[in-house]
Amino acid sequence: MPAKSKAELIAVSEKEFAKLAKVLDQIPDPLRLEKDEEGVSPKDIVGHRAHWIALFLGWYRDGLAGREVFFPAKGYKWNDLKRYNADLRAAQADLGWEDARAELIARHAELMALIEAASDGALYGGPMAGARNDWTAGRWAEAAGPSHYRSAAKYLRQRIRQGT
């Protein structure tokens, strides 16, 4: 069930990030850069999550400033996500495990700062500026943060169990 208030969003964000951080601590060195059958490594998952938080932060700020918001990014449509994510992995190919983790930690801190600075009304009072849909800024923040943390932790636990 999605958060409906700033307090709920803060709580779910911190809870899911803590769970993900615990899983990240359990990933053995050899597995961190090992690709699965789809060519995705645990490092790629971490870098992806950090990047999508940065995307949300940009959408939010662009919308508030009255600038055009590109969803998911300029030159891509939602039905291009597979290509977008492949392009992102290529762009992050030289990103190491520790740098990916540092990026995720930094982006989570930025997300939390935005949430904590915003009012309930700014987060849940209506559609996010520039979004061109009915989702609130809080719902977008949850999708970029805690929902992504949850799916990343699930995938990474599976990789640890499989040992690949």
- CATH number (domain holding residue 144): 1.20.120.450
Per-residue confidence at 80, pLDDT binned at 50, 70, 90? very high
Mean pLDDT of the region 126-153 = 94
Q: How many distinct structural domains can be found in the chain?
A: 1
Give 127's strand partners: 136
**Which residue type is seen at 20?**
L
Whole-number average pLDDT of the chain: 94
Tell me which residue of 124, 107, 93 sits closest to 20, measured CA to CA: 107
Rounded Cα gap, residues 127 and 133, in angstroms? 7
Q: What is the CA radius of gyration of the chain?
A: 16
The predicted structure's pLDDT at residue 164: 60
Residue 61: give the domain boundaries. 6-20+41-162
Specify if 31 maps to a domain: no
What pTM was computed for the model?
A: 0.93
Mean pLDDT of the region 11-30 = 96
Specify if 26 maps to a domain: no
What single-letter DSSP state applies at residue 65?
T
CA 111: distance to chain centroid? 9
Q: What is the DSSP string of 27-50?
A: --HHHHT---TTS--HHHHHHHHH
